[in-house]
Each structure stands twice: as structure tokens, then as C-alpha cells.
Amino acid sequence: MRTFFAVIIASLVALAALAIAQPTVPVLPFHDSLRGTTPLNEEPKAPLIAPTENKDVIRGLNYAQQPPTIPHKIDNYQLDKNANRCLACHARSRAEESGAVPVAVSHYIDRDGLVSGHLSPRRYFCTQCHVPQADAKLLIGNTFVAVEDIKQQPTSKSQKK
């Protein structure tokens, strides 16, 4: 019984020593992937914004169901409840004349699944899904392969035939 109390007292003393011990400060400065080495009480300098691409080429997809990206500058385009500058070229009635890709038919379907002759209100603000691109280095790698590019491996049943 005496050894039991001795073990408990020794454990409590060890826990108390750990509780009052000062935390160690790392030798290297703290480095956050978003803030860099800027201390928390200081505002970091914002990185330069990469220039928007203006190539007018249709890009490939980076993941399944990705909305197409905007291949040109849209600086100063009015896109609010009063006007949508994108429709000046991309409306189905103007696309042939402008040479732009027409708005997809899916954008004319309302939330009840009914097709109408005008753009659905939930698809009106183009930049909710479609974004211009910048010529910037990739932050992370991407190994996406579109379904149509995946080569089917022969199964064991088809090999036997």
C-alpha cells in the first residue's frame, strides 16, 4: 500500500513539474505558408497580382464538372443587377456575330427544371462560376485526367475470350 501512494505522489510531482515548465522557443523563426515569416502582430505585404491572360483560347479542364474559364480580360465589365456585359457577346442571339462561345443551354433552365427564353436568374452573375486566368505558377500539382482520356484496362474476362 505504501508503494502505491509513493507511485501516486511521484506521478503528481512529475505532472506538477511539467505544468510549471516553460515552453521552449524554437530556434528558427515561425514560418506560416500564408503569412511567411511576418509576425502575427504585423500586416504582411500583399503579393503582386499576376496579369490576367488575354489569349482567347479555350482551356482544358482541371477537374470534373469545372465551368469553363474566361480566356480574356474582363476589367471594367459591368456585371450587376442592372447589366451583364458578358451577354453583349455571349448571348445566344449575338454569339455568331461576335465569334464568342454562346451561353450554355443549361443557363436557361430555372430551378424548377423549366426551360425559358431568357437567362435563369441563378445563372446571371457569370463570375460566380467562370473566372479569368492569370499567368502564374501553380501552387499545387494536379493529376486530373478527364474521363474520356482514361484508357480502359482489359478485364480478366475479356482476356480469356
Residues in the annotated binding site for heme c: 72, 86, 89-90, 107, 126, 129-130
Whose cell is 427564353? That residue is 117
C-alpha closest to that of 103 among 87, 117, 116, 114: 87
The set of cell numbers assigned to 127 is 463570375
CB atoms near residue 7 (< 10 Å): 10
Distance between CA atoms of residues 110 and 119, nearest Å: 8
The set of cell numbers assigned to 79 is 456585371
Is the separation of the CB atoms in 66 and 131 below 8 Å? Answer: no
- For 8: left if phi > 0, alpha if psi spans -120 to 50, otherwise beta; the answer is alpha
The set of cell numbers assigned to 108 is 436557361
Distance between CA atoms of residues 54 and 57, nearest Å: 9
